[in-house]
Amino acid sequence: QDSKSPNEKLNIACIGTANRAAADIQGVLGENIVALVDVDKNYLDRKLKEIPDARPYADYREMLDAEKGKIDAVVIGTTDHHHAPATIRAIRAGLHVYCEKPLTHTVQEARIIAEAAKEAGVATQLGTQIHAGNNYRRVVEIIQSGAIGDVTEAHVWVGKGWGGGERPEKAEQPPAHLNWDLWLGPAPERPYAAGRYHPAQWRRWWDFGQGTLGDMGCHYMDLPFWALKLRHPTSCVATGPEVHPETCPLGLTVEYQFPKRGDLAPCKLTWYDGNMTPKKVAGERVPGSGVMFVGTEGHMFADYGNYRLFPREKFADFTAPAESIPNSIGHHAEWIKACKDGSPTTCNFDYSGALSETVLLGNVAYRTGEKLEWDAANLKATNTSAADKYISKSYRTGWEVS
Ligand SMILES: NC(=O)C1=CN([C@@H]2O[C@H](COP(=O)(O)OP(=O)(O)OC[C@H]3O[C@@H](n4cnc5c(N)ncnc54)[C@H](OP(=O)(O)O)[C@@H]3O)[C@@H](O)[C@H]2O)C=CC1
Ligand SMILES: O=C1CO[C@H](CO)[C@@H](O)[C@@H]1O
């Protein structure tokens, strides 16, 4: 990629135009939006009214062929099962990529994407925009200052429940404005059913989403990943209801063990969601979602916008360390700048690839039903081959990721 001067606008194609994808388009609207892609013609037409000069497409594969040499970057705000097929094709075309979380739908895809991005040297950013806020910065500074001593446990919980349900018995005709075959993309064929997949509900289905862990894990586990410099766990075990072959659990807990990292103590990270979300963590009553760091000298609660140190009496006169992590210029803005001048982004696919792998590994452990002794270098559970079929997946012809 040629670097651009800060005043020269990027030519961007946006894949997905509604809901979160619309927010992502808003985030890059200062650049030239030259192409828009959506499988739903109503959504596409609505966005074209706002950006009439953009060239419309239903299929991002066609768009990437047709726009070769005319675009610098893509923004991907589709459902999770399309993240990797769209991202890998964009990276291999030499394009910069902003992609919604989780980076991919499988553990193996996250590794492929991170390696391809590194090789191509393109600017990347995962859609974990909370990372750009100030609170996570302050929490990272406090944890890394040693205020609560050596952190040996982190608890992360999210009270949503993206799971449950059975496949609808009735096959319905998709509405004329929705290209159902393209919506399915890499996933196995299945009949359309109104309100069951599109929009939003796809999160409940293994074929398209990864339940609450896949949906929210990257936002919340981002904080311990950053503060504790986590990367790959050495083991992972999950507890939940009996595994359903098609839909995700309504509640889950996952225990990850992370090894020593330089001077940092080994750390256990526990995830809880849905009906397994705790009311109390480390002895403190907690809100519906958040993070608790447990250290040798105290513990610390945090969420997107707040933090609190415990025991309260001990930290009553606590003074936070001097701010050392610069404020972000904005999550999308970081990426735009990186596309133009090669500066770093905070959630590039090296960092967020490892984060996404870890998040998705929790569901691999749950579906496998065994504790996984994890060899991250080789993407393999060393103690069982039962995990293999959940680490990667097969694709409908024409949508492969490799
Ligand atoms: N960072 C954040 O805070 C948030 C992130 N997200 C993430 O954003 C992504 C989208 O979620 P959400 O907006 O709820 O999903 P929706 O299903 O509501 O919308 C996804 C958008 O992408 C379109 N789309 C789907 N498949 C394709 C395709 N193959 N090609 C082009 N366009 C496509 C959709 O059209 P159609 O409706 O026809 O499928 C729609 O415009 C997810 O990865 C989710 O995890 C979501 C919410 C907030
Ligand atoms: O932050 C978010 C808000 O909620 C959505 C639905 O659970 C998530 O997908 C999203 O990442």
Q: Measured from the CB, is residue 160 less than 6 Å from ligand 2? A: yes
Position 268 scores a pLDDT of 98
What structural domains does the chain harbor?
A: 11-130+331-348 (3.40.50.720), 133-163+207-326+357-391 (3.30.360.10)
Residues 6+ apart with CB under 8 A from 242: none
Place of tokens 């749950």: 366
Position 63 scores a pLDDT of 99
The runs of H, that is alpha helices, within 282-373 are 331-341, 349-368
Q: Measured from the CB, is residue 258 less than 6 Å from ligand 1? A: no
Kindly indicate whether the ipTM for this predicted assembly is greater than 0.90, answering yes or no.
yes
For the chain, what percent of residues have pLDDT higher than 70? 100
Quick one: average pLDDT of 35-58? 98
Q: Measured from the CB, is residue 21 less than 6 Å from ligand 1? A: yes
The string of pLDDT tens digits covering residues 89-116 is 999 999 999 999 999 999 999 999 999 9
Position 7 scores a pLDDT of 82
Atom of ligand 1 nearest to the CA of 78: 22
Q: Measured from the CB, is residue 182 less than 6 Å from ligand 1? A: yes
Q: What is the mean pLDDT of the chain?
A: 98
CA of 145 to the centre of ligand 1 (A): 38
The string of pLDDT tens digits covering residues 145-192 is 999 999 999 999 999 999 999 999 989 999 999 999 999 999 999 999
The string of pLDDT tens digits covering residues 116-145 is 999 999 999 999 999 999 999 999 999 999
CA of 215 to the centre of ligand 2 (A): 6
Q: Measured from the CB, is residue 200 less than 6 Å from ligand 1? A: yes
- The residue whose CA has the least distance to atom 20 of ligand 1 is 78
Position 54 scores a pLDDT of 98
Position 2 scores a pLDDT of 58
Distances (CA, A) of 11 to 14, 20, 72, 73: 10, 20, 5, 7
Residue 261: pLDDT over 70:
yes
Q: Which ligand is nearest to the CA of 46?
A: 1
Distances (CA, A) of 210 to 24, 81, 84, 206, 400: 21, 9, 14, 6, 19
Nearest-angstrom CA–CA distance, 198 and 181: 12
The string of pLDDT tens digits covering residues 266-285 is 999 999 999 999 999 999 99
Quick one: average pLDDT of 237-254? 98
Question: Which band of pLDDT confidence, cut at 50, 70 and 90, is reported for residue 6?
Answer: confident
Tokens of 220: 């919340």
**Residue 30: Cβ within 10 Å count:** 12
Position 375 scores a pLDDT of 98
